[in-house]
């Protein structure tokens, strides 16, 4: 009999893929963790029934969440990734030679261990000497730091379960305090079709912490409805056209999604989305 994975997004919306093997299934203190083998997407990391990353399309998410801030910041030296236990965001940040220190703060050590074992091409940067892996609560970690990072990336799960606290207004305020002057935050901000209540809350909460924000989009087939968003925020205005073209040029050859042109066009929001969530951005 065929085995299928189904992600239940809403009562009437599901995403499904045939599973050819279950490589790992575990329950940590925080969530259920699965690593599934599939033909169309390769290995899939699933947390509490939601797809987190897959071999086939992970590069879209990780390039977008890492290189857009790394090239829009004036001179990033030190970065913090909250969540992101698969290591994909760290792997991309490491491509920037100017970034000398990256802290990954992931709450669930079992996620990191499973990814080291089953996703070596994604987790490959975790042992780099510029990387420090902290297993612990990102909310507490950020609170303990002030003016410490040039870039903070919130590579979280969805706003239910262990990731919930990473979407609150209080959290974004403490992220703002943990950034150095000129610092940038990027948070994964869910699918553009996710629902006005959830998206409205995320955007309001980010605005509670930061004077300026800009949302950008990418196409990810294994995430709900296929179009994902990230929101960058800062104390200063953000102009996507001001990215450092030379810095981007140094990493461009190794990228599979972003280009010099799309570094700007990813910020083109459909009017329906802009009107609802990004009117004043």
Contact segment (CB under 6 A) with ligand SPD among 50-58, 145-153, 176-184, 246-254 equals 50-58
Segment interacting with ligand SPD (CB under 6 A) among 18-26, 72-80, 150-158, 167-175: 150-158
Q: Min. distance of Cβ 251 from ligand SPD in angstroms?
A: 18
31 binds ligand SPD (CB under 6 A): no
Distance CA 20, CA 2 (A): 8
Nearer to ligand SPD, 212 or 226 (CB): 226
Nearer to ligand SPD, 109 or 264 (CB): 109
- Is the Cβ–Cβ distance between 177 and 100 less than 8 Å? no
Among 43, 69, 79, 84, interactor with ligand SPD by CB under 6 A: 84
For residue 240, give both structure tokens.
Answer: 């996507």
Region binding ligand SPD by CB under 6 A among candidate stretches 31-39, 82-90, 103-111, 173-181: 82-90
For ligand SPD, the binding residues in 213-272 under the rule CB under 6 A are: 223
As measured in angstroms, the least distance from the Cβ of 44 to ligand SPD is 11
The correct pick among 5, 33, 43, 53 for binding ligand SPD (CB under 6 A) is: 53
Rounded-to-10 torsion of CA 122, 124, 127, 129: -110
d(C-alpha 73, C-alpha 42), whole Å? 34
- Give the per-residue contact string, 61-80, with ligand SPD (x = CB under 6 A; - = no): x-------------------
| Residue from 35, 50, 64, 105 binding ligand SPD (CB under 6 A) | 50
What's the Cα-to-Cα distance from 79 to each of 86, 178, 257, rounded to whole Å? 16, 11, 22
Structure tokens at 277: 């969530």
- Residues from 154 through 183 that contact ligand SPD (CB under 6 A): 155, 157-158
Ranges of beta strands (E only) in 21-130 are 21-27, 32-38, 42-47, 50-54, 78-83, 101-106
52 binds ligand SPD (CB under 6 A): yes
| Alpha carbons 202 and 179: distance in angstroms, whole number | 19
Q: Which helix (H) or strand (E) holds 228?
A: strand 227-234
Find the part of the chain contacting ligand SPD (CB under 6 A) among 84-92, 197-205, 209-217, 240-248.
84-92
Q: At what angle do helices 169-178 and 196-209 cross, to 10 degrees?
A: 40
Catalytic residue among 86, 108, 150, 155: 155
Q: Residue 103 is encoded by which pair of tokens?
A: 């802290």
Does residue 239 have an active-site annotation?
A: no
**By CB under 6 A, is residue 118 in contact with ligand SPD?**
no
Instruction: In whole angstroms, give the CA distance from residue 130 to residue 276.
Output: 40
For tokens 């970034």, what's the residue?
Answer: 99
Smallest separation, CB 227 to ligand SPD (Å): 12
Nearest CA-CA partner of 164 in 136, 133, 137 = 137
Contacts to ligand SPD by CB under 6 A: 50, 52-53, 61, 84, 86, 88-89, 155, 157-158, 188, 223
Residues labelled catalytic = 155
């Amino acid at each position: 009999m065929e085995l299928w994975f189904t992600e239940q997004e809403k009562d009437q919306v599901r995403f499904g893929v045939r599973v050819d093997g279950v490589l790992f299934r575990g329950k940590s203190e925080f969530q259920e963790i699965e690593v599934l083998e599939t033909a169309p997407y390769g290995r899939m990391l699933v947390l509490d029934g939601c797809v987190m990353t897959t071999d086939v399309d992970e590069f879209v998410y990780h390039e977008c969440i890492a290189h857009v801030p790394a090239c829009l910041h004036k001179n990033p030296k030190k970065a913090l990734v909250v969540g992101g236990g698969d290591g994909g965001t760290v792997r991309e940040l490491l491509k920037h030679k100017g970034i000398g220190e990256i802290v990954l703060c992931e709450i669930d050590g079992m996620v990191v261990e499973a990814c080291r074992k089953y996703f070596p091409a994604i987790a490959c940067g975790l042992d780099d000497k510029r990387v420090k892996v902290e297993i612990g609560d990102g909310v507490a970690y950020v609170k303990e730091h002030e003016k410490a990072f040039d870039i903070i990336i919130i590579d979280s799960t969805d706003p239910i379960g262990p990731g919930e606290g990473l979407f609150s207004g209080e959290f974004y305020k403490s992220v703002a305090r943990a950034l150095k002057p000129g610092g940038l935050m990027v948070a994964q901000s869910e699918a553009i079709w996710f629902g006005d209540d959830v998206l409205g809350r995320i955007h309001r909460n980010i605005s509670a912490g930061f004077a300026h924000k800009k949302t950008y989009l990418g196409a990810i087939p294994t995430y709900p409805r296929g179009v994902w968003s990230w929101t960058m925020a800062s104390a200063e205005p953000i102009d996507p056209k001001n990215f450092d073209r030379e810095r981007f040029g140094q990493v461009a050859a190794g990228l599979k999604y972003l280009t010099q042109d799309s570094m700007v066009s990813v910020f083109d929001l459909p009017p329906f989305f802009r009107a609802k969530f990004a009117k004043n951005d």
